[in-house]
């Protein structure tokens, strides 16, 4: 079924509305440029005068033009060496905002009984705060290494391996979605996945409903719902009231 304009700025394909939100049991969100308004790695890089270089790599990765996401992230994080914890805090306090409709959508899903999952190629410094702010049930993201000893409180330019692996890329987002569904005893068809970049496509491909939010062309083309105008809560328009 080809994509069709369901409402101004809202495209759908592969299903006929209305759906029932209560038929779903899990909603998985990307963070950067989806739940929140920035790409955190780009804004962190601004603290050391490297935003232009880092943002160019981020854009290419999100468009799917870089095959090895893990290597692209390692390259970007290496450029963050010397950034301080105070710099990270400044990004969170001064630059990071929830995207329009994000809180409303999360609350609507929670009210309908859905569990919530945040899977991000970003960093625990930010995902932990967004988790607590929105009451999200599960998270997976990357951990920045912080120097101890001399110059403590500065980034080393590396990431820390975690019990589940090294880097949360597209394959890890998919794996976390499937693991969470298994943990909850539900089918992936009972999950909703929301994202904007190429690294979100693996999890979106497993979910029963995939949502692209102001996304890259490759992601808009493959999503069942594409929100091209307005806030995240516009996905609620495809559900019965």
Domain CATH for 116: 3.40.50.1000
Q: Total domain count for the chain?
A: 1
- Judge whether 32 counts as a catalytic residue: yes
pLDDT for 67: 82
**Tens digit of pLDDT at every position of the chain (241 positions):** 678 999 999 999 999 999 999 999 999 999 999 999 999 999 999 988 999 999 999 999 999 999 899 999 999 999 999 999 999 999 999 999 999 999 999 999 999 999 999 999 999 999 999 999 999 999 999 999 998 766 678 999 999 999 999 999 999 999 999 999 999 999 999 999 999 999 999 999 999 999 999 999 999 999 999 999 999 999 999 999 8
Q: Of the residues 23, 32, 46, 132, which is catalytic?
A: 32
Residue 33 makes CB contacts below 8 A (sequence gap 6+) with 39, 62, 99, 196, 197, 213, 214
pLDDT for 148: 77
pLDDT for 1: 64
- Judge whether 42 counts as a catalytic residue: no
Q: Of the residues 30, 87, 169, 196, which is catalytic?
A: 30
pLDDT tens sequence across 100-116: 999 999 999 999 999 99
Spatial separation of the C-alpha atoms in residues 46 and 62, rounded to whole Å? 19
pLDDT for 2: 77
Residue among 182, 173, 163 at smallest CA distance from 210: 173
pLDDT for 241: 84
pLDDT for 173: 98
pLDDT for 149: 65
Question: What is the total residue count of the chain?
Answer: 241
Spatial separation of the C-alpha atoms in residues 211 and 164, rounded to whole Å? 26
Half-sphere exposure of 90 (CA within 13 A, CB side): 10
- Per the listing, tokens 């806030």 go with 231
pLDDT for 150: 67
Q: Which domain holds residue 106?
A: 4-238
Evaluate whether 201 touches 170 at the Cβ level (below 8 Å).
yes
């Amino acid at each position: 079924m080809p994509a069709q304009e369901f409402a101004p700025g809202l495209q759908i394909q592969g299903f006929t509305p209305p759906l029932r939100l209560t038929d779903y049991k899990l909603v998985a969100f990307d963070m950067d440029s989806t739940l929140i308004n920035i790409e955190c790695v780009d804004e962190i890089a601004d603290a050391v005068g490297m935003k232009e270089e880092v943002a160019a790599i981020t854009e290419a990765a999100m468009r799917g033009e870089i095959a090895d996401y893990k290597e692209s992230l390692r390259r970007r994080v290496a450029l963050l060496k010397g950034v301080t914890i105070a710099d990270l805090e400044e990004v969170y306090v001064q630059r990071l905002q929830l995207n329009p409709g994000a809180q409303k959508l999360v609350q609507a899903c929670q009210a309908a009984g859905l569990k919530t999952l945040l899977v991000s190629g970003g960093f625990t410094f930010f995902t932990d705060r967004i988790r607590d702010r929105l009451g999200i049930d599960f998270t997976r993201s990357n951990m920045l290494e912080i120097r101890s000893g001399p110059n403590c409180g500065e980034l080393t330019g590396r990431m820390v391996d975690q019990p589940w692996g090294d880097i949360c890329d597209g394959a890890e987002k998919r794996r976390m979605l499937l693991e969470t569904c298994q943990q909850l005893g539900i089918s992936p068809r009972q999950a909703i996945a929301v994202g904007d970049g190429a690294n979100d496509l693996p999890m979106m491909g497993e979910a029963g409903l995939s949502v692209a939010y102001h996304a890259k062309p490759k992601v808009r083309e493959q999503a069942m719902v594409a929100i091209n105008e307005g806030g995240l809560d516009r996905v609620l328009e495809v559900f019965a009231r």
